[in-house]
């Protein structure tokens, strides 16, 4: 659940990390502001390159073939879909961000990406396709599978662009 909140915070472009005194400090907000924990997908601000980078980093936070790997894959896929659905840049911006992120990985991280990406991408595609079969996995992972208001077609298009970079990283588009 904490990982999901962190992903949502990253997708919303949050300034401070969760759990710090900075994040806990009260901030003045307009009276009609929706608290972050209850924000609806329709009111979520766009995801930035920083949010996309965080969502991609979360794809490397575990090993797919380790205990709980499928649940961690579901959590990473959910965060990625939610970020891609509200990504504020163009497809070219998304591709450039993904290439920069990939170029910053060391050999061990690239090997971990090669292990984890097929599962993350496949689960994310199941989410964007509204595949009912993925709902059980999401529920087991503690992910809220309600995508009401989430622009799944936009996420699917962005996922295609991202997959073109990360599935064949030897020759990423620049």
- Indicate whether this model's pTM tops 0.95: no
The first and second tokens of residue 85, run together, are: 């659905």
List the structure tokens of 86: 């509200």
Of residues 46, 29, 9, 25, the one with CA closest to residue 155? 46
pLDDT digits (tens, 9 = 90+) for 8-67: 444 444 333 333 333 333 333 333 333 333 334 444 567 888 999 999 999 999 888 788
Q: Each residue of 111-147: pLDDT tens digit?
A: 999 999 999 999 999 999 999 989 999 999 999 999 9
């Amino acid at each position: 659940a904490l990982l999901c909140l962190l992903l949502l915070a990253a997708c919303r472009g949050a300034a401070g990390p969760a759990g710090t005194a900075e994040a806990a400090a009260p901030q003045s907000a307009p009276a009609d502001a929706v608290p972050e924990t209850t924000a609806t997908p329709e009111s979520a601000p766009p995801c930035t390159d920083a949010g996309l980078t965080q969502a991609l980093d979360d794809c490397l936070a575990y090993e797919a073939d380790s205990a709980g790997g499928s649940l961690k894959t579901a959590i990473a896929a959910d965060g990625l879909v939610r970020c891609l659905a509200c990504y504020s840049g163009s497809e070219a911006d998304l591709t450039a961000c993904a290439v920069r992120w990939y170029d910053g990985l060391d050999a061990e991280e690239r090997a971990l990406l090669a292990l984890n990406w097929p599962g993350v991408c496949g689960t994310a595609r199941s989410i964007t396709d509204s595949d009912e079969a993925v709902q059980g996995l999401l529920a087991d992972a503690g992910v809220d599978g309600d995508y009401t208001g989430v622009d799944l077609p936009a996420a699917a298009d962005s996922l295609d662009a991202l997959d073109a970079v990360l599935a064949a990283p030897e020759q990423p588009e620049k």
